[in-house]
Amino acid sequence: MNAFARTDRSLLGQWWWTVDRFLLIGIGLLILFGIIMVLASSPPIARNLKLDQMHFVIKHFTVLVPTALGLFGVSLLAPRGVLRLAVGVLALFAVLTLATLWLAPEIKGAHRWLFIGGQQLQPSEFMKPALAVVTAWLLASRPGLGGLPAALLLVGPTVALLLLQPDLGMATVVVAFFSIQLFVAGLGWLPIIILGGAGVAGLWGAYQLLPHVRDRVDGFLDPTAEVYQVERALSAVQSGGLFGRGPGEG
């Protein structure tokens, strides 16, 4: 039995009958998976750092709760409201991402994080979804690919800015989702193949020109290299097998 009748014109009633429920379920499962992973993996790390074993779990929820509320609030907006919010977020965090080139400390060869109010902030993570919304609207607002020039004026500088940090991974994600948007908007296979080839060439160029990219790739491929994340993953499988030893026992 549904909590809201189809004739319910309240804000929550309209939300219930218009929200993408499959997407809602997917988001819920991702949140649940994240909670399980934090419960399973963080207590030993907290103990090693001589912190309360629930330290990172509590920290996770202090971020999760306001984020979930914000997500729910955005889902209540009409499409035009979502677009306006995306434009504002894109403008704000594009400026902050630009500021990282001068204000962010260098961490592992990149300038990505700002420290605001004692908290770390990676502005490009907020810029990315806002850019996806705005470019999708631009491509859909005009027939054919009439919105492509305006979309390129946003995507091009964004990718260039990310490469200046440098953040090759984020730049690759932006190019990938924009390519998918172009395909959905009606771009033919040949331009998509050309874009894919350019992307592969760009990755090869990054490997050749950026030392930190080369070090990461070589470290992943070299079984004798000291790669913390790979070592921890192998250790976890050796210790707990495919299904693990249970939450907090890793």
- Domain span at residue 124 reads 78-209
**Is 16 a domain residue?**
yes
- Within a 13 Å sphere around the CA of 99, how many CA atoms are in the beta-carbon half? 14
Average pLDDT by stretches of 10, the chain with 250 residues: 68 82 92 89 83 89 92 89 94 92 78 79 91 94 84 91 85 89 85 82 81 74 64 70 62
Tokens matching residue 211: 């030392």
Tell me, yes or no, whether 120 and 159 share the same domain: yes
Q: How far apart are CA 15 and CA 4, in angstroms?
A: 10
Tell me, yes or no, whether 115 and 203 share the same domain: yes
In this prediction the pTM is 0.77
**Is 224 a domain residue?**
no
Of 76, 94, 129, the residue at which a domain comes to its end is 76
Q: How far apart are CA 80 and CA 17, in angstroms?
A: 18
Tell me, yes or no, whether 38 and 159 share the same domain: no
Query: What was the pLDDT predicted at 225?
Result: 60
